[in-house]
Amino acid sequence: MSLYDKYYKEVNYFGNPYPELIKYMKQLPKGTLIDLGAGQGRDSVPLSRMGFLVTSVDTSLVGLEQIKLEEPKIKILHKT
């Protein structure tokens, strides 16, 4: 179990996506994205909902499971 697994079980660090990222991504054609260090999906979830095909990568399986619950279309990849 990673250190972040313990945090994510107790606290929602999801937060809001970076406004600058969302503004920038709205200008681009939809495509495939990889979110490295996705955590609980702060950026992965809104980008998926904007129409991007997102793969979230993180060391925290707990965070990735939370992403999948929030947005089932996102592919998850657990790397230790």
Give yes or no for a contact between 45 and 71, defined as CB atoms under 8 angstroms apart. Answer: yes
Q: So where are the chain's domains? A: 3-78
Integer Rg of the chain from CA: 12
Q: In what order do the strands lie in the sheet with 32-36?
A: 32-36, 53-58, 75-78
Stretch 34-56: mean pLDDT: 96
Question: pTM of the entire structure?
Answer: 0.88
More confident residue, 56 or 10: 56
pLDDT surpasses 70 at 1: no
Could you tell me how many helices (H) and strands (E) the chain has, helices first? 4, 3
pLDDT surpasses 80 at 11: no
Domain 3-78 CATH class label: alpha beta
Q: What DSSP character marks residue 59?
A: S
Distance in angstroms (rounded) separating the CA atoms of residues 24 and 17 = 12
Stretch 25-30: mean pLDDT: 97
